[in-house]
Structure 1
Amino acid sequence: MGYVRDIMNKHVVTISKEKSCLEASRLLQEKDISFLVVVEQNNPVGIITEADFVRKLVAQDKKPSELKVADIMSPKYRWVEPTTAIEDAVQKMLNNNIRRLIVLEEGKLAGVITQTDLAAYLRSKLLIDETIRGIGSED
């Protein structure tokens, strides 16, 4: 089917765990994305999502300018390597009920893979398969 490296996004938006939640929310808005990889000395240490803002800030009536990213980030994150089979990445996402995976290569951040990436890949694969079947049935 393919490997994570074939569909991962290499342009990962990161933020320091020491930045304010306000800065993080502005970065999400500016980049029009739903999550950030949280780093410390360029190494991933967590993830912060829109859901973290809702559950840990808004629902608790806290001020984003007064909290650091480290205060609301999820320190647990799932990851795969670029050489992981796409099927295995999908299974990991399903098993853990998550929408994204960090891609690490030799312990360093190499990219991310999201449900959107997977859906686009599967859609194009299905279209190609249907086209090939259509060509084969014309004979």
Structure 2
Amino acid sequence: MREKNENMIGDVTVFNDAKTGVQVKDIMSSPVKTVLEHDSVEQAAKKMIANDLGSIIVTDAQGNPVGIITERDIVHRVVAENLVPRKVKAEAVMSRPVRITTPEVDIKEVAELMRDHNIRRLAVMDEGKMIGIVSSKDIVKITPALLELISEKTRITHQQLMSSRRIFTSTGYCDHCRQWSDTLMEVSGNFVCEECQVDFESK
């Protein structure tokens, strides 16, 4: 059964309760393989094959990411249309815009962004330069270890809560001030009224 503090959207795991402590820079792929927007789809496909990539970032002349070409884009927009790959420009078939993130962002936020925009890859930008790419596969690879860490944190938090939990009872005399109260609360084995809680816990 899946823990209540995480859920799956497609193949992206989203952690609900807190940050994971893992940043984009810890799992991103770098350097990034790219093609220019005026390069041909054939050039893009060859570079994808040579580097065992399922997608490739398309940039302008200044190196800014302007789109992304995936295997699906090539199949649906080139092959299925009986177009000649070497005659088709990358900009004609790329998907846009390219969603971006930064190195210090927690992967929880990345997973949420992927889920919200139904995408699987983000370009990683730092000081105006693209330094990497992070994909849903990168997140999935480390998910088991993260789930174990989050599960352990959850157990610790639950134990701390149980050890310090205050239990309300009905009415009676306060163990601290000996006055009658309709809202006694158990604190460390003693039943105290609301007025005495702060004084009692500070001792």
Structure 1 residues 96 and 130, CA, compared in 2 at 3 Å: closer, same or farther? Answer: closer
What is the deviation of 1:118?
Answer: 0.2
- The one-letter amino acid paired with 1:92 is L
Structure 1: runs of 5+ lacking an equivalent: 134-139
Question: Which structure dedicates a bigger proportion of its chain to helix?
Answer: 1
What root-mean-square deviation, in Å, do the aligned CA atoms of Structure 1 and Structure 2 show? 1.9
The structure showing larger relative contact order (alpha-carbon pairs under 8 Å, at least 6 residues apart) is: 1
**Larger Rg belongs to:** 2
Aligned pair count? 133
Alignment counterpart, residue 106 of structure 1, candidates 118, 127, 132 = 127
Identity %: 33
2:145 corresponds to:
124
* Structural mapping, 1:1-139, within 5 Å: 1=20, 2-40=22-60, 41-126=62-147
Deviation string for 1:8-57 (max 9, x for gaps)?
11221111112111111111111111111111222211111111101210
What is the deviation of 1:131?
Answer: 9.2
Moved over 3 A (4+): 126-133
2:168 corresponds to:
none
- TM-score after normalising by structure 1: 0.86
- TM-score after normalising by structure 2: 0.60
Conservation of the 8 A alpha-carbon contact between 2:103 and 2:125: yes
What is the deviation of 1:128?
Answer: 5.9
Q: Secondary structure of the residue that 2:130 maps to in structure 1?
A: strand
Question: How far apart, CA to CA, are the structure 2 residues paired with 1:114 and 1:129?
Answer: 21
